[in-house]
Amino acid sequence: MRWTKWIHLTDTHLVPPGQLLYGSDPQARVHAAVSSIAAEHPDAQFCLVTGDLAHLGEPSAYVALQRALAELPMPVHLLIGNHDDRVAFRETFLGAPVDDSGYVQQVMRFGSGLMLMLDTNEPGVAHGVYCARRLKWLAAQLQFSRDEPLWIAMHHPPFDVGLPSMDAIGLRDAQAFAEVLAPHRHRVRHLFFGHVHRPISGSWQGIPFSTVRATNHQVALDLHLAHEIPGSFEPPAYAVVLVDPHQTLVHNHDFLDDSRRFAL
């Protein structure tokens, strides 16, 4: 097959089984996403989940997520976000790769190149942090990977997205992050992130990026509101990513959509 396919899923915000979140059942939403992926994209090489796996980091929420994701026919690679608890996450997902400092980040090799999966979680705060230790790890991975094509995945975007309520809790160390990345920018094919619960794409310093709606709840499109995050229940989605040596394509899929299909 021409393409390497993978799935981008984000911000599942699981709560303990039986509980609702903002009136919706995050676990049911994940089950629906998993069923859709298993039925429609069983040939995907892996599923990437870019953080906020659990809403409040409860151990039972991670166990519920683990059970739900076990139904997928492909490997799953998890990142943590600001809503996650790194300790509780690691106690449930025992095999989750971490770096030498215990951050949930890794370099994953796949057919087309390398995926850098980064940990921007900082306990107790909603904004993202990419501290000196993590920067040092990233610099070493970039150095080690020489000239190979790179894809990056992280929870917090390292730039503003034009939503004041979300930009207030963006990545705080964005400048230092950009400086470490700068010499390698030409070989970064795409950057995937979560956090903002909206479909957003564009480019940053020449690097194409995208994110996708979350599975449970969304952030409404409000380019002015700053003092609170405007929640919404726009349709959930996951992204289907297709990669070959010359292209990275990102298709958003509203997996709950049951509207009638017809011949055009």
DSSP-assigned letters across all residues of 174-225: HHHHHHHHGGGGGGEEEEEE-SS-S-EEEEETTEEEEE---SS-EE---SS-
Q: Measured in whole angstroms, how far is the alpha carbon of residue 215 from the centre of its chain?
A: 12
Please count the residues of this chain forming the interface with Fe ion, following the rule CB under 5 A. Answer: 2
Q: Which is nearer to Fe ion, 52 or 119 (CB)?
A: 52
Query: Does 85 contact Fe ion by CB under 5 A?
Result: no
Q: Which residue is nearest to Fe ion (CB)?
A: 52
Q: Which is nearer to Fe ion, 84 or 99 (CB)?
A: 84
Residue 12 Cβ vs Fe ion, minimum distance, rounded to whole Å: 9
Residue 35 Cβ vs Fe ion, minimum distance, rounded to whole Å: 22
Residue 245 Cβ vs Fe ion, minimum distance, rounded to whole Å: 33
Residue 88 Cβ vs Fe ion, minimum distance, rounded to whole Å: 16
Residue 237 Cβ vs Fe ion, minimum distance, rounded to whole Å: 14
Site for Fe ion in 191-230 (CB under 5 A): none
Q: Pattern 133-162, binding to Fe ion, x per CB under 5 A?
A: ------------------------------
Query: What's 154's DSSP letter?
Result: E
Q: Which is nearer to Fe ion, 134 or 198 (CB)?
A: 198
CB-side neighbour CA atoms (13 Å) of 18: 1
**Residue 214 · residue 52 · CB < 8 Å:** yes
Q: Pattern 2-41, binding to Fe ion, x per CB under 5 A?
A: ---------x------------------------------
Position among 41, 44, 50, 52 found at the interface with Fe ion (CB under 5 A): 52
Q: Which of 61, 107, 116 is nearest to 84 (CA)?
A: 61
Query: Could you give the CA distance from residue 172 to residue 177 in angstroms, rounded to a whole number?
Result: 9
Say how many C-beta atoms besides its own lie within 10 A of residue 176's C-beta: 16
Residue 194 Cβ vs Fe ion, minimum distance, rounded to whole Å: 6
User: What are the backbone angles phi and psi of residue 252, rounded to the nearest 5°?
Assistant: -85, 140
Which helix H or strand E contains 152, and what residues bound it?
strand 150-154
Q: Which is nearer to Fe ion, 141 or 215 (CB)?
A: 215
Q: Note the residues at the interface with Fe ion (CB under 5 A).
A: 11, 52
